[in-house]
Amino acid sequence: MANIISADMMKNPLVQRVEAISGQNLALCYQCGKCSATCPSSSQMDVLPHLLIRYLQMGFPQAFDAKSIWLCATCFSCESKCPRGLDVGKICEALRVLKLRKEPYELKTETISSEVPQQGLVSAYRKLSSY
């Protein structure tokens, strides 16, 4: 059974917010899977990048709750291989923003290992404080 994406499905409020924040047109994805094939974090993800976009296209709330959005390293591998020019990293970032707006998170430095690079800490604070 084929799942056909209709214009009404793309009017979903979650899809519209993700598109507004990320600047990406989710309707462009035709599920070739190249983003998932090149993603260095895909082996750890619960929802592969191309499926994450499909969940959004279909209006499934699982996309918003996927652990995969936190594993995306925004390395641009997906964007470099996408024949349609979509950047899954920006889409994951938009989902993280929406998730943090809904459920604020406080980063406790006492629980962070001393082996974490300083650049990682600065990046985490920058992401959490800018929203």
The number of angstroms, rounded, from the C-alpha of 102 to the middle of its chain's C-alpha atoms is 16
Domain extents in the chain: 9-105
pLDDT band at 14 (very low <50, low <70, confident <90, very high): confident
- Asked if the 9-105 domain carries CATH number 1.10.1060, the reply is yes
State the pTM of this model: 0.74
Question: What pLDDT does residue 12 have?
Answer: 82
User: Tell me, what amino acid is at 113?
Assistant: S
pLDDT band at 126 (very low <50, low <70, confident <90, very high): low
